[in-house]
Amino acid sequence: MRDRDIRAALWALLDEQHADDPDTLVLDELGICQGETRADVAVVNGSLAAFEIKSDRDTLARLPGQIEAYQRVFDVVTVIVGGRYVERIMDAIPETWGVIQAVSQTQSVELKFLREPIKNERVDPLSVTQLLWRDEALTLLEERGLARGFRSKPRRLLWQAIVDQLSPEEVSEAVRAQLKAREGWRSDPRPTQDGDSRQPAAT
């Protein structure tokens, strides 16, 4: 059972869950913390959720760093794991993270829910703001009349200005809105359970 098999099953589940919600965006490989790591699949709607895939062919070497980064950015996190790593994952991840076991079937992958995720209370607004491109951060400041003196500044100062002037809730809402409004920034095809591929899109 490969990563792509689990990913296809996850996309099918998310397609089903959000089929009637045009305000939900599902993305493959969302880079966070200035490229420090990537969430395998991210869901953007009223919150920012991450799904991390650990197939039986993976190692867990990157998991400690992923935990630290995910805790800074995502409201909820779920790990999807093959049978090989279930116990180790349960012991290693925060108690707030959800766990789904991927079970190989004859021609598909079944996703078995072992633990539901709980809201992460350790989100860092600056790390969330770093999801914005520089022009997006500047536009956000301009819309709020806060851009004076920042138009020629590097993005790190724009990010900090946003965090200094907006509440954590406002930061999260603004960043999610921008991610959903962003166009033409995801073009990699994603696998389906029948072995074909399709383009990522809002569901």
Return the higher-pLDDT residue of 4 and 63.
63
Q: Assess whether pLDDT exceeds 80 at residue 41.
A: yes
Q: Report if residue 199 sits inside a domain.
A: no
Lookup result for tokens 């790190």: 156
What is the pLDDT at residue 186?
Answer: 57
Structure tokens of 148? 């004076």
In what helix (H) or strand (E) does residue 32 lie, and over which residues does it extend?
Answer: strand 25-32
The pTM of this model reads: 0.88
Residue 4's pLDDT band (cuts 50, 70, 90): confident
Looking at the fold, whether 116 and 130 belong to one and the same domain comes out as no
Query: Does the structure show a pLDDT above 70 at 189?
Result: no
Alpha-carbon span 129 to 73, nearest angstrom: 9
Spatial neighbors of 105 by CB under 8 A, at least 6 apart, are none
41 and 100 belong to one structural domain: yes
User: Nearest CA to 103 among 80, 134, 137, 77?
Assistant: 80
Residue positions counted in the chain: 203
121-142 pLDDT tens trace: 999 999 999 999 999 999 999 9
81: containing domain:
3-122
When divided into structural domains, the chain yields a total of: 2
The answer on 152 and 60 residing in a single domain is no
